[in-house]
Amino acid sequence: MSQPVSQASLKSGRNLVTRWRILAQRRLDHLVELYKSGRWKLYYTESNFLETVQEARANLKVWQKLAPSDTVLDKTVEVAIAQEEPAELHTANALPQPSLLDSVRPQHDFRKL
């Protein structure tokens, strides 16, 4: 029997596929930058570079079909985590926390010697 898929697992799966799409886009952007700067000649032969660019474009198309661009859902991990943290954590972290070192007093004051 198959169990229903929860919203959390759907969101998690979407996030994973979205990250791979973003990674594929970054790879293609990097190859374009290599081409524009001419640095591709240091790392590739012309035919090898062309093949790599075609492969990167094909990969990006697949990831775009699996997870189309969405400005609301396409966030960096840091932004997504910050938006999911409850507000209570932010206010609790803003207050100074007592430390064990606050109760430690020096046995000798070496400034007076």
Between CA 106 and CA 28 the distance in angstroms is 59
pLDDT score of 10 more than 60: no
Q: Which spans in the chain are helix H?
A: 7-37, 40-43, 46-66, 77-84, 87-94
pLDDT score of 107 more than 80: no
Who wins on pLDDT, 27 or 6? 27
Would the pTM of this model clear 0.75, i.e. be above it? no
- Confidence (pLDDT) at 42: 95
pLDDT digits over 25-38, tens only? 999 999 999 999 99
pLDDT digits over 49-84, tens only? 999 999 999 999 999 998 887 666 555 555 555 556
